[in-house]
Amino acid sequence: MSGTPTAVVVAAALTHEGTLLLAQRTRPPELAGLWELPGGKVEPGESEDSALARELREELGVECSIGAALSGDVDLAGGLVLRAYRATLVSGTPAALEHSALRWVDAAMLPTMDLVDADRLWLPELLDILLTS
């Protein structure tokens, strides 16, 4: 195999007391207003765990512990692959530093949220996590 390695986007299923943190995107225009698992691109030389911890620090101002990956990757436009990991708060209170809003949602609220398409793959697993936590 040759060519450019696949770029990975990591996203967090950050849970706290039976709720999941969703973040509302501000960009690009076609995704603005939709809700996502917060995260971003892994930089060259960075592990996925440290990239996700960095993104959560930058976007939410919190320190998190990164856990297991959720099942399945999502192919995004532009050759990117999206992968999600469990995460828990170590310190701080999340703030919308790069999103327009944050919301902690429970299992009843999650299916009613307008999620970005890519993140919908994980809805059943996220509901399961919320209902068993």
Dihedral angle, C-alpha 77, 102, 33, 40, nearest 10 °: -20
Chain centroid to CA 105: 14
CB of 90 to ligand CDP, least distance (A): 21
Q: Is 8 in the site for ligand CDP (CB under 6 A)?
A: no
CB-nearer residue toward ligand CDP: 40 or 61:
40
Contact 11, 76 (CB under 8 A): no
Footprint (CB under 6 A) of ligand CDP, residues 84-113: none
* Cα gap 28→48, rounded to integer Å: 24
Q: Which amino acid is at 48?
A: E
**Which span (64-72, 87-95, 105-113, 114-122) binds ligand CDP, by CB under 6 A?**
114-122
Q: Is 31 in the site for ligand CDP (CB under 6 A)?
A: yes
DSSP code of residue 115: B
Q: Which amino acid is at 43?
A: E
- With CB under 6 A as the rule, give the number of residues binding ligand CDP: 14
* Among 8, 19, 40, 110, contact with ligand CDP (rule: CB under 6 A): 40
Which stretches of the chain bind ligand CDP, using CB under 6 A? 9, 11, 31, 36-37, 39-41, 76, 80, 82, 116, 118-119
